[in-house]
Structure formats: C-alpha cells, structure tokens
C-alpha cells in the first residue's frame, strides 16, 4: 500500500522553546513543489514552555503537523519515537536549533529519486553565528558544532569512504530501519555515526548532496575552547565504545588501547607545539583536539577494564 507522505520530517526538541518557532516555521514554509511531507515534533520530556510554544501551530489545523511526547530522555529515543509514528517512505531528521532551506524537502526528494541505489542522503549544515567566531574556530575545528561543509561536489559515503553525515540534515529510506534497526540509546552522543557504521557494515551507502542545505545556530558557549575540549574527550570515549576499525588494528596495546594511537597523539602533540610557536591558532587547536580525543579514548578503556575486572598494562596482540 502506498504511504500517505513522501517524506516524514522528525524534529526532536528538549527545553529549547525559544528556538522552536523559527525551526517550525522554516519547515512549514517549504517550497515543496508537490512533495507530500509531514512534520513530527517530538517533545523529549521538556520541562520548559515547549508544549505551549507548539500549541499555536497545532491550532492552525495543518494536517501535516503532529505533536509527540517521548518521556525517555535522549536524542535516540526522540528520533525513534518519530520513526515509529512516521508515515513517509523517507524519514528526514533535523534539530530544534536548525533552519532548513526553503527547498530542503524538494531537494531531498529529488536526491532520492535521482539515486535509487542509495539508502540515505545528507547535506550541508552551515553556521549561523551568534557573534563573530574566535580566530581559532575555523572550518577545520567545526566538528563539535555539528557543522558540515564538504564542498559543492556530491559523493558517496560507504564502507570504503566512511564520511559521517550528521543528523541535523539527514534522511533515510524507511526500509533501512527494518534492515539495521533504529538509533541506539546506548550512544548518548554519536548516534549518527553508530547508525551509519551499521549501514556500511551491511553494504549500504549514502549520498552527500551539497544542494540539501540547513543552517544551525552556534550558541556562544559552544565557541569556547573548554566546550571543544570536552567534546573531543567525549568523542574519544564514543570511538572507544565503538571499537572502530580505524584504530583497532592488531598489535601491542597499553590499557587496551593500541600503541599506534599513543604514537599518533604524540605526533599531534609535537605538531601542536610547533604550530603554537608559529602563532597558528587554528592549527594549534586542531592538533590539541586530537590529544583530548586520546584522553577520552584511554579513560573509556580504563573504565571498561575496571568493570570487566581486567589487569592494566601492556598487552600482546589481539
């Protein structure tokens, strides 16, 4: 049976009622070009005025708009609630601090129609700065802001080209979730990466489509070095949980971390020092971020070993 909508848009939100109006209005104002789409607003157990903010939009009687309440806290739970309620053949995800372009829905539909062989599509996430960014916060250091700009040339992402497309601008064919499952609540952050790894392992591939564009607010607190250091440390923890093949190569280990990862971080530390001496702020912080990644990676492995009752020290080959 044909589904009622071409695209179901899932927007999860938690305690950001002041940002919601612009996010909702950008979705309602789509130049859809005949694309049938619905908007699922998933209130992820908010304690602010989120429901009151959404009510006036529901009162408009627009059949495309639906409110859902998900009491289990976490991005994965919110997105999975949207997946369960979705009526579209494609399920697209965005966030409450994001403004989609006026052609976002139609560009997604066109990308899937032109590329029936791909299972998911993602595009650019461009910044909307609250104030001028500091000198060190260049595109090379955008990862903690969930910003994406891979240029203007489309490309495939798969097991041979593992480029993660972020959930603020991501759409998947509905049947994908029947094949690999939904977002994992075991990953409080990095859910997008973990899901796409399962896709790659299943032999599936996606498309980076640069014409699919959204803009994201960059809050002032996310422009501080302390925020980025925490983010990279937590990113290291997530990679340690994933046991990502990029790092998990056979060989000697210390604290269950491959020695080659320590060597990589040591090189980055030296590069950080040299860049600092040259006054290259952006380059200095890019290398520093890699050191914080190792700190998180080691911390997670030590925690895992303590929980498992393992000994600490240098291990042999896997």
Question: Pick from 47, 44, 53, 9: which is nearest to 28 by CA?
Answer: 9
Q: What is the pTM of this model?
A: 0.85
Give residue 310's pLDDT band: very low, low, confident or very high (50, 70, 90). Answer: low
Residue-level pLDDT at 117? 95
* Domain identity same for 143 and 240: no
Residue 86 φ then ψ, to 5°: -70, 140
What is d(CA 192, CA 125) in angstroms, rounded to the nearest whole number?
A: 14
Q: What does the buried/exposed string (b/e) look like for 287-314 if buried means 16 or more CB atoms within 10 Å of the residue's CB?
A: bbbbbbbbebbbbbbbeeeeeeeeeeee
* Domain identity same for 283 and 150: no
- Asked which of 183, 205, 222 is the last residue of a domain, the reply is 222
CATH number at residue 180: 3.90.550.10
* Domain identity same for 192 and 246: no
**Tens digit of each residue's pLDDT (9 = 90 or more) over 19-54:** 999 999 999 999 988 999 999 999 999 999 999 999
What is d(CA 186, CA 178) in angstroms, rounded to the nearest whole number?
A: 19
* Domain identity same for 36 and 89: yes
* Domain identity same for 212 and 278: no
**Contact predicate 168/94, CB 8 Å:** yes
Instruction: Report the share of the chain in percent with pLDDT over 90.
Output: 75
* Domain identity same for 96 and 208: yes
* Domain identity same for 194 and 260: no
* Domain identity same for 232 and 272: yes
- Asked which of 222, 241, 264 is the last residue of a domain, the reply is 222
Please state whether beta strands 206-218 and 120-129 pair in parallel, antiparallel, or not at all (unpaired).
Answer: parallel
Residue-level pLDDT at 316? 43
Give residue 317's pLDDT band: very low, low, confident or very high (50, 70, 90). Answer: very low
- Asked which of 194, 222, 250 is the last residue of a domain, the reply is 222
* Domain identity same for 200 and 270: no
Query: Residue 303 is part of which domain span?
Result: 224-315
Please give the tally of structural domains in the chain.
2
* Domain identity same for 69 and 180: yes
> Residue 253: pLDDT above 70?
yes
* Domain identity same for 198 and 242: no
């Amino acid at each position: 049976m044909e589904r009622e909508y071409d695209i179901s848009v899932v927007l999860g939100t938690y305690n950001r009622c002041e940002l919601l109006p612009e996010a909702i209005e950008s979705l309602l104002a789509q130049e859809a070009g005949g694309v049938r789409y619905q908007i699922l607003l998933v209130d992820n157990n908010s304690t602010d005025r989120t429901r009151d903010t959404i009510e006036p939009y529901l009162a408009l009687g627009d059949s495309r708009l639906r409110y859902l309440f998900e009491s289990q806290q976490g991005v994965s739970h919110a997105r999975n609630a949207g997946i369960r309620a979705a009526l579209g053949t494609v399920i697209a995800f965005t966030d409450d601090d994001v403004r989609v372009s006026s052609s976002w829905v139609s560009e997604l539909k066109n990308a899937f129609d032109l590329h029936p062989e791909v299972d998911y599509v993602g595009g650019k996430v461009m910044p909307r700065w609250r104030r001028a960014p500091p000198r060190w916060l260049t595109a090379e250091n955008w990862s903690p802001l969930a910003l994406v700009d891979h240029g203007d040339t489309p490309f495939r992402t798969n097991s041979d080209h593992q480029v993660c497309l972020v959930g603020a601008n991501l759409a998947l064919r509905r049947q994908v979730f029947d094949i690999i499952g939904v977002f994992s609540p075991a990953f409080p952050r990095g859910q997008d990466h973990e899901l796409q790894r399962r896709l790659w392992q299943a032999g599936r591939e996606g498309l980076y489509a640069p014409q699919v564009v959204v803009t994201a607010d960059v809050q002032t607190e996310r422009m501080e070095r302390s925020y980025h250091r925490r983010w990279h440390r937590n990113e290291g923890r997530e990679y340690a949980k994933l046991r990502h093949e990029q790092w998990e190569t056979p060989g000697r280990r210390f604290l269950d971390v491959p020695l080659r990862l320590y060597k990589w971080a040591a090189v980055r530390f030296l590069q950080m020092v040299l860049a600092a001496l040259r006054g290259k702020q952006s380059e200095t912080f890019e290398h520093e971020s890699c050191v914080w990644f190792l700190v998180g990676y080691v911390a997670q492995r030590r925690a895992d070993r303590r929980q498992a009752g393992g000994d600490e020290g240098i291990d042999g080959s896997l």
